[in-house]
Chains A and B, each alone.
Chain A
């Protein structure tokens, strides 16, 4: 059965696509993995069948509009938070486009993610609420869990613009065994000159690796891994292993690099993957040419594992029990 390997190859080496490519399969897989805009930019300028070229041109336009909306959200957050004078660091997709990075080309961007100092959280929350953002979910249990344990405020959405903002104070949930050095992230952040900052290039790569493995069940993993491939490709990986070790994420960063090298050919090349890397690759490519998620058992393994990473087992049992009781 087809999986997303064709997509990974197409992104890594667009020139390798031949005339008898299953275009609709490739496009559908890309769309399902939120990589259609990225693919469209990678294929821009190559000789393609006319229909395909038109569809990809539409995808580039859509990505442009998405980029504009994301940068505007960042600007409106900047205006709301400027009076506080605290550090405001852009994260993920918005950071890539604000920094003009190759990881941002064609990237689909959802919510705005920012990182602020932990002791500024209350002030940031108040300023955003005053500027037209409001809470998404008024569920007291979820709220208590969020505030106490998660690495971010409960989600906020802007009343008029209908766009979400996630305010982080570190890059992993507090209950995870891994504790990144949040103050170091802020100290080494690079100002854009308008009051907003980006993480340092090494920290961006480490954050992407953290997000890819420790933060979730690998849904959207292929896109995250492509981010890492672009970040390394643009900035290199000198000092990256040391920085990752400093944040307690050495294993995750190393695995991300191995997988990126395996799938996308990020230099330097790597040898055959071990069994555990092969499991991750299976999960990352679990999408067929009709856009369907495949490999349900592999997915289940990663879903349970992701919750285990975020919480100690006793807490996990209690959390899942309470969630099930709510139906």
Chain B
């Protein structure tokens, strides 16, 4: 392929091939301080939908080891988004060495907090808010649980900010590095933020999960314990590879819900959420 880029994010290595230079240049710039993989785990391809579409109304089809055949192509201007989506897809569909949970994760003193829920629940926003208060950011999309140890491994990919969240993040973290503004994507305006130096520098240090949260945005502040059986069911739904992991998946997830307390936390706004989380953390 014409233009190539490789990067390691936590334990997962990717190689990205592209028919165009621009997305590769952008990836290379934003992932500047990330390590390179020896052997990439996954291959991503950003391909022109037809040979002439490389130049005329350039349109990117996402391809690679794993694809979703019905995925719509993206315009070249959103090439960075295409690459990020493609990398997520490879891990989601192909990841086998760790149990994957659709969750954000932050760490303090070697202990990790996992936050999981549907889109819009705020797990990404909460993770970045906590990171701004000194927690180590371990990821906002996937938490990787090691079946042997039960530890969670960081996957600190670029943080995908949407619409109003963009201005909020830029105001809260003016020193952070941001990618280009991608307007008019299927999900509105998107801008990527590079995780801070601590997140990138410590990405190979796993942490022990000690608290699991199911946050819900836009409600009066309340915290309720979640029973193990309910946490188990919700986490199987939040995992893209639980079934594929077989016995290891069962052992890892049952051990997680039996050893880690779970709480549902309703919160009206970010500041309240941070306060609730830190209060909970102190009780552990």
**Are A and B direct contacts in the complex by CB distance below 8 Å?**
yes
Seen from chain A, the residues whose Cβ lies within 8 Å of a Cβ on chain B are 23-24, 28, 31-32, 49, 51-52, 54-55, 58, 61-62, 64-65, 68, 290-292
Query: Interface digits, B32-54 against A, CB 8 Å rule (1 contact, 0 not)?
Result: 00000011110101010000000
- Shortest Cβ distance from residue B45 to the other chain A in the assembled complex, whole angstroms: 6
Residue in B closest to A292 when the chains form the complex, CB atoms:
B45
- Shortest Cβ distance from residue A186 to the other chain B in the assembled complex, whole angstroms: 35
Q: Bound complex: CA of A35 vs CA of B20, how far in Å?
A: 30
Are B63 and A292 in contact (CB-based, < 8 A)?
A: yes
Which A residues are CB-close (under 8 A) to B17?
Answer: 290
Are B96 and A61 in contact (CB-based, < 8 A)?
A: yes
Which A residues are CB-close (under 8 A) to B45?
Answer: 290-292
Q: Bound complex: CA of A290 vs CA of B17, how far in Å?
A: 8
Are B246 and A65 in contact (CB-based, < 8 A)?
A: yes
Which A residues are CB-close (under 8 A) to B43?
Answer: 24, 28, 290-291
- A-B contacts, 26 listed (Cβ < 8 Å): A24-B15, A24-B40, A24-B43, A28-B43, A28-B65, A31-B65, A32-B65, A49-B39, A51-B38, A52-B39, A54-B97, A55-B39, A58-B97, A61-B96, A62-B96, A62-B244, A65-B244, A65-B246, A290-B17, A290-B45, A291-B43, A291-B63, A291-B64, A291-B65, A292-B45, A292-B63
Partner of B1, one of A23, A52, A61, A290: A290
Q: How many residues of B contact A (CB 8 A)?
A: 17
Are A24 and B65 in contact (CB-based, < 8 A)?
A: no
Which B residues are CB-close (under 8 A) to A292?
Answer: 45, 47, 63
- Shortest Cβ distance from residue A289 to the other chain B in the assembled complex, whole angstroms: 9
Partner of A68, one of B40, B97, B246: B246
Residue in A closest to B1 when the chains form the complex, CB atoms:
A290
Q: Bound complex: CA of A286 vs CA of B64, how far in Å?
A: 16
Interface of A is mostly: helix
Residue in A closest to B15 when the chains form the complex, CB atoms:
A24
Query: Interface digits, B61-75 against A, CB 8 Å rule (1 contact, 0 not)?
Result: 001110000000000
Which B residues are CB-close (under 8 A) to A68?
Answer: 246
- List 5 A-B pairs, minimum CB-CB distance, nearest first: A51-B39, A65-B246, A58-B96, A28-B43, A31-B65
Of residues 48 through 99 on chain B, the ones whose CB sits less than 8 Å from some CB of chain A are: 63-65, 96-97
- Shortest Cβ distance from residue A19 to the other chain B in the assembled complex, whole angstroms: 14
Seen from chain B, the residues whose Cβ lies within 8 Å of a Cβ on chain A are 1, 15, 17, 38-41, 43, 45, 47, 63-65, 96-97, 244, 246
Residue in A closest to B38 when the chains form the complex, CB atoms:
A51
Residue in A closest to B66 when the chains form the complex, CB atoms:
A31
- Shortest Cβ distance from residue A290 to the other chain B in the assembled complex, whole angstroms: 5
Q: Bound complex: CA of A58 vs CA of B95, how far in Å?
A: 9
Which B residues are CB-close (under 8 A) to A31?
Answer: 65
Residue in B closest to A59 when the chains form the complex, CB atoms:
B96
- Shortest Cβ distance from residue B247 to the other chain A in the assembled complex, whole angstroms: 9
Which B residues are CB-close (under 8 A) to A61?
Answer: 96, 246
Are A23 and B39 in contact (CB-based, < 8 A)?
A: yes
- Shortest Cβ distance from residue B250 to the other chain A in the assembled complex, whole angstroms: 12
Besides the contacts A68-B246, A291-B63, what 12 more A-B pairs have beta carbons closer than 8 Å? A24-B39, A31-B65, A32-B65, A58-B96, A61-B246, A64-B246, A290-B1, A290-B45, A291-B43, A291-B64, A292-B45, A292-B63
Which A residues are CB-close (under 8 A) to B244?
Answer: 62, 65
Are B41 and A55 in contact (CB-based, < 8 A)?
A: yes
Q: Bound complex: CA of A65 vs CA of B43, how far in Å?
A: 23
Q: Bound complex: CA of A61 vs CA of B38, how far in Å?
A: 22
Q: Bound complex: CA of A291 vs CA of B41, how far in Å?
A: 14
- Shortest Cβ distance from residue A306 to the other chain B in the assembled complex, whole angstroms: 20
Q: Bound complex: CA of A291 vs CA of B62, how far in Å?
A: 13
Q: Bound complex: CA of A51 vs CA of B65, how far in Å?
A: 18
Residue in B closest to A62 when the chains form the complex, CB atoms:
B96
Which A residues are CB-close (under 8 A) to B63?
Answer: 291-292
- Shortest Cβ distance from residue B69 to the other chain A in the assembled complex, whole angstroms: 13
Which A residues are CB-close (under 8 A) to B38?
Answer: 51
Q: Bound complex: CA of A58 vs CA of B17, how far in Å?
A: 24
Residue in B closest to A49 when the chains form the complex, CB atoms:
B39
Q: Bound complex: CA of A52 vs CA of B64, how far in Å?
A: 19
Residue in B closest to A28 when the chains form the complex, CB atoms:
B43
- Shortest Cβ distance from residue B80 to the other chain A in the assembled complex, whole angstroms: 20
Which B residues are CB-close (under 8 A) to A54?
Answer: 97
Residue in B closest to A31 when the chains form the complex, CB atoms:
B65
- Shortest Cβ distance from residue B48 to the other chain A in the assembled complex, whole angstroms: 12
- Shortest Cβ distance from residue B242 to the other chain A in the assembled complex, whole angstroms: 12
- Shortest Cβ distance from residue B15 to the other chain A in the assembled complex, whole angstroms: 7
Which B residues are CB-close (under 8 A) to A24?
Answer: 15, 39-40, 43
Which B residues are CB-close (under 8 A) to A49?
Answer: 39
